[in-house]
Amino acid sequence: MIEEVRLHRARARRLLTMVEGRWDQELPEIVAHTAYYAMYHAAIALFGKRSVPLPKTHAGVNARFSEHFRQVEPDGRDQVRRLGRALERRLIADYDAVDILKTEDACAARDDAIAFVAFCERLIDES
């Protein structure tokens, strides 16, 4: 399990680095998709570190994260909202036929991913 935590954390970090460095150069849909998956892998790493059972769906990841980490201070509730927004943006990016995401959405995706991955890494390091 320790190796799996390390691998998911490393993937989260790689994806986040891409988002941080290219959010203003890529299509907003690519940024939204990549930012969500950075957050997803950070959450999966945290679940592994804390022995939280892995959900089977992306909506389940959001629900399980909320169930286990929304009460964590100082900003667990904010992180739950960030993950929910990221999933919404990813669904738009992946499935909508019309490009409705804008540069502002890419910027928000980047900011949410930075905060969320940092939160998860802090909890992983505290364990």
- Over pLDDT 90: what percentage of the chain? 91
Write out pLDDT tens, residues 15-68.
Answer: 999 999 998 888 999 999 999 999 999 999 999 999 999 999 999 999 999 999
CATH number 1.10.287.70 given to 2-126: no
DSSP at 52: P
Report the mean per-residue pLDDT for the chain: 96
Angle at 28 between CA 27 and CA 30, to 5 degrees: 70
Q: List the Cα angle 96/55/77 in 5-degree steps.
A: 75
Does residue 1 carry a pLDDT above 70?
no
Query: The whole model's pTM is what?
Result: 0.96
- CA torsion 82→12→110→117, rounded to 10°? 50
Give residue 106's pLDDT band: very low, low, confident or very high (50, 70, 90): very high
